[in-house]
Amino acid sequence: MSHAELPEFHIVIPARYASQRFPKKLMADLGGKPVLQWGYELALNAGAKTVTIATDHEVIYQAAQSFGAPVVMTRDDHENGTERLAEVAEKMGWQQDEIIVNVQGDEPLLPVELIHSTVDALAQDTASEMATIACKIHDAEDFFNPNVVKVVCDEQGRALYFSRAPMPWDRNGFMDNATNESSLAEDFPAMRHIGLYVYRASLLAKYATLPMSPLEKWEKLEQLRFLHQGIKVQVAQASGLPPHGVDTQDDLDALRKHIASTR
């Protein structure tokens, strides 16, 4: 899909300095430049109307300026990246119908095609206020892993539910030996959620007024706040899982080896 076929969209990269699992990871060196700069450069390649880094920390702010990225200093009391996006959208004065993509700064090798597919999915579904993306699950270990978030969709491709639990359930196929299966049936509709979000500015404007849902509280999945409120979420389909982001030091080491091997 070419840039010309897509509607205009903005990319915002929420960038926290003090990540709980891996502090200062966005400033870690990856192939001669910080992880955050990789995220910014891939966002530029996506052909967005604007690309903005949003942070609440001076170190991130200075780093973004050093490699030429537009950066906005946001409040330091946001609970998540969506709230930070909402503040940026308000500060920028973006119109209600404008499309805003949340690109994580710790996913330096995210394929641009995923951004395009998700933007296109939202643009094609005027009834949905946000979109995300998923890919098929083939491996049973992933299906039963609570760290792999599953999504089931309706006939229009909109999310019915997100869960850490295995869903949908193959009643006859699983029975008691579910976890002994090494692979799933080829036509089994198990989908893995990929955490890339695209919003209409109008939804971000009202996000702060939406209370945490009971579902979100227990599943620890922020996107359930939207479904609980009846907000439609379109789900694009990816052909496969994108490269893993930087959550741990091991992730960073693996990416360093990968990048070194491709040079």
Average pLDDT score, the chain: 91
Residue 216 pLDDT > 80, yes or no? Answer: yes
Q: Measured in Å, how far apart are the chain's first and last C-alpha atoms?
A: 27
pLDDT at residue 177 in the model: 58
pLDDT at residue 19 in the model: 76
Q: What is the pTM of this model?
A: 0.90
Determine the topology of domain 9-134+193-210+224-258 in CATH.
Spore Coat Polysaccharide Biosynthesis Protein SpsA; Chain A (3.90.550)
Q: Please choose, from the candidates 173, 166, 215, 172, the residue with its C-alpha nearest in 3D space to the C-alpha of residue 191.
A: 166
pLDDT at residue 3 in the model: 56
What is the Cα–Cα distance from 197 to 199, expressed in whole angstroms? Answer: 7
pLDDT at residue 85 in the model: 93
Residue 170 pLDDT > 80, yes or no? Answer: yes
By percentage, how much of the chain surpasses pLDDT 90?
Answer: 70
73 or 183: which carries more pLDDT confidence? 73
pLDDT at residue 236 in the model: 97
